[in-house]
Chains A and B, each alone.
Chain A
Amino acid sequence: MVSLLFISSGLFLGWSLGANDAANLFGTAVSTKMVKFSTAAVIISIFVIIGAVFGGAGTTETLGALGDVNTLPGAFIVALAAGLTVYLMTNYKLPVSTTQSIVGAIIGWNLFSGYDTEFTVLTKIVGTWIFSPILSAVFAILFFKIADYIVNNVKIHLFKIDMYTRIGLILVGAFGAYSLGANNIANVMGVFTKTSVIGGLDLNIVSLSSIQVLFLLGGISISIGVFTYSKRVMTTVGKSIFKISPVASLIVVLSSSAVLFVFASEGLQSILITLGLPTLPLVPVSGSQAVVGAVIGIGLAKGGRNINYKLLSKIGLGWIVTPLLALLISYIALFFMQNVFMHQVYL
Chain B
Amino acid sequence: MKKSIFNKSKELEKDINEYLDNVEEALLIFKREINRYFEGHFDLFEDGLKDILKVENKADKLLKDIKYKLYTYMLIPEARGDVLSLLETMDNEVDLCKKVLMQFSIEKPKIRDFVLAEFKDLTKQSLSSAEEVVKGLRTYFEEISMVNDYVNKVHFYEHEADKIEERIKRKVFETDEIDEFSKRVHLRHFSERIAYFSDLAEEISEKLSVAAIKRSI
B13 touches A144 (CB 8 A): no
B179: interface (CB < 8 Å): no
> How many Å from the CB of A147 to the closest CB on chain B?
6
| Proximity string of chain A (215-248) to chain B, C-beta cutoff 8 Å, 1 when within and 0 when not | 0000000000000000000000000000001111
Residues of A within 8 Å of B76, CB to CB, are: 158-159, 162
> How many Å from the CB of B28 to the closest CB on chain A?
24
Considering the complex, which residues of chain A in the window 151-179 have a beta carbon less than 8 Å from any beta carbon of chain B? 151-153, 155-160, 162-163, 166-167
Partner pick for A162 among B9, B143, B216, CB 8 A cutoff = B9
> How many Å from the CB of B45 to the closest CB on chain A?
38
Nearest 7 CB-CB pairings of A with B: A159-B9, A247-B217, A163-B9, A152-B145, A158-B141, A159-B13, A162-B76
Interface size, A (range): 20 to 34
> How many Å from the CB of A26 to the closest CB on chain B?
14
B215: interface (CB < 8 Å): yes
A33: interface (CB < 8 Å): yes
B217 touches A157 (CB 8 A): no
| Proximity string of chain B (133-150) to chain A, C-beta cutoff 8 Å, 1 when within and 0 when not | 000000011111100000
B116: interface (CB < 8 Å): no
> How many Å from the CB of B195 to the closest CB on chain A?
31
B5: interface (CB < 8 Å): yes
Residues of B within 8 Å of A33, CB to CB, are: 74, 77
Residues of B within 8 Å of A157, CB to CB, are: 9, 13, 141-142
B143 touches A163 (CB 8 A): no
A148: interface (CB < 8 Å): yes
Residues of B within 8 Å of A162, CB to CB, are: 9, 75-76
Q: Told that A152-B145, A157-B13 touch, could you supply 8 new A-B pairs with CB distance under 8 A?
A: A33-B77, A148-B217, A153-B145, A158-B140, A159-B10, A160-B13, A246-B77, A251-B217
Residues of B within 8 Å of A153, CB to CB, are: 145
A162 and chain B: residue at smallest CB distance: B76
Considering the complex, which residues of chain B in the window 89-108 have a beta carbon less than 8 Å from any beta carbon of chain A? none
A8: interface (CB < 8 Å): no
A163 touches B145 (CB 8 A): no
Residues of A within 8 Å of B145, CB to CB, are: 152-153
Partner pick for B6 among A155, A163, A251, CB 8 A cutoff = A163
10 contacts between A and B (CB under 8 A): A32-B78, A148-B217, A151-B215, A152-B145, A152-B216, A157-B13, A159-B12, A160-B9, A162-B75, A251-B217
A126: interface (CB < 8 Å): no
In the complex, what distance in Å separates the CA atom of A50 from the CA atom of B6? 29
In the complex, what distance in Å separates the CA atom of A153 from the CA atom of B10? 21
Residues of B within 8 Å of A159, CB to CB, are: 9-10, 12-13, 75-76, 141
Residues of B within 8 Å of A166, CB to CB, are: 5
B79: interface (CB < 8 Å): yes
In the complex, what distance in Å separates the CA atom of A160 from the CA atom of B142? 9
B215 touches A246 (CB 8 A): no
| Proximity string of chain B (67-92) to chain A, C-beta cutoff 8 Å, 1 when within and 0 when not | 00000001111110001000000000
Considering the complex, which residues of chain A in the window 324-344 have a beta carbon less than 8 Å from any beta carbon of chain B? none
Residues of B within 8 Å of A148, CB to CB, are: 216-217
A245 touches B78 (CB 8 A): yes
A94: interface (CB < 8 Å): no
In the complex, what distance in Å separates the CA atom of A147 from the CA atom of B216? 10
> How many Å from the CB of A284 to the closest CB on chain B?
31
In the complex, what distance in Å separates the CA atom of A111 from the CA atom of B40? 101
A34: interface (CB < 8 Å): yes
> How many Å from the CB of A171 to the closest CB on chain B?
14
Residues of B within 8 Å of A247, CB to CB, are: 217
Partner pick for B142 among A34, A156, A251, CB 8 A cutoff = A156
Residues of B within 8 Å of A251, CB to CB, are: 217
In the complex, what distance in Å separates the CA atom of A153 from the CA atom of B141? 13
In the complex, what distance in Å separates the CA atom of A245 from the CA atom of B83? 16
A167 and chain B: residue at smallest CB distance: B5
Considering the complex, which residues of chain B in the window 180-217 have a beta carbon less than 8 Å from any beta carbon of chain A? 215-217
B77 touches A34 (CB 8 A): yes
> How many Å from the CB of A336 to the closest CB on chain B?
51
In the complex, what distance in Å separates the CA atom of A247 from the CA atom of B214? 12
A144 touches B217 (CB 8 A): yes
